[in-house]
Amino acid sequence: MATEIGRRELIGKGGRLVPAVGAGALLAAALAPGRASADTAAHRGFALPGTWSITIANLDVPDYPPEPGLFAFSRDGLLIGTGASRIVGFGTWKATGAAAFTVDYRHFVISDAGKVTGTVQVQQQGTLLSPTKVELTGQASQVDLDGNVVVTFRARSTGTRYGFGPADLGA
């Protein structure tokens, strides 16, 4: 069916891009030390920074199995994540209230032949339920290389913190 995201396509060859994308992100951060936005101070006092084990559910296709993922939210508003597909995604987050935030996140769609066929673009609103629990809801769209939306679906992500939290990071 043309409107389904091909799980094999997403899982296929995603691992090939991880080293190049990761190196590019590190290089960009090293070359732009003044990149932090005016929102950095607001992010420092927010309890989201750290590492999270996430479960992502497609709300429009109930039979679609939830996908596990790992997200890292930085103190300066960057988001890096990966899922069972092994494809690394990048985005930003911004505090919008005492326990509320928004996320804009993207990752590539890779064909079985290892070619980039588009992106998945995610916009979600999140709530810190506790220092160790988070929930995000919003939508994800698969977009082809020409900018055409292939499919859009509602998504919910729930997560549990692991590793160090903001207090341990000196936030």
Averaged pLDDT score across all residues of the chain: 78
Kindly give the residue spans of alpha helices, DSSP state H, lying in 94-145.
none
Domains and CATH numbers, the chain: 7-30+49-166 (2.40.160)
Residue type, 152: T
The 8-class DSSP code of residue 60 comes to S
Going along the chain, which residue ranges are E strands? 50-58, 67-73, 78-83, 88-95, 100-110, 116-130, 133-144, 149-162
Per-residue confidence band for 64, with pLDDT thresholds at 50, 70 and 90: confident
pLDDT in tens, 24-47: 333 333 334 444 443 443 445 568
DSSP tally for the chain: helices H, then strands E: 4, 8
pLDDT in tens, 125-140: 999 999 899 999 999 9
Per-residue confidence band for 93, with pLDDT thresholds at 50, 70 and 90: very high
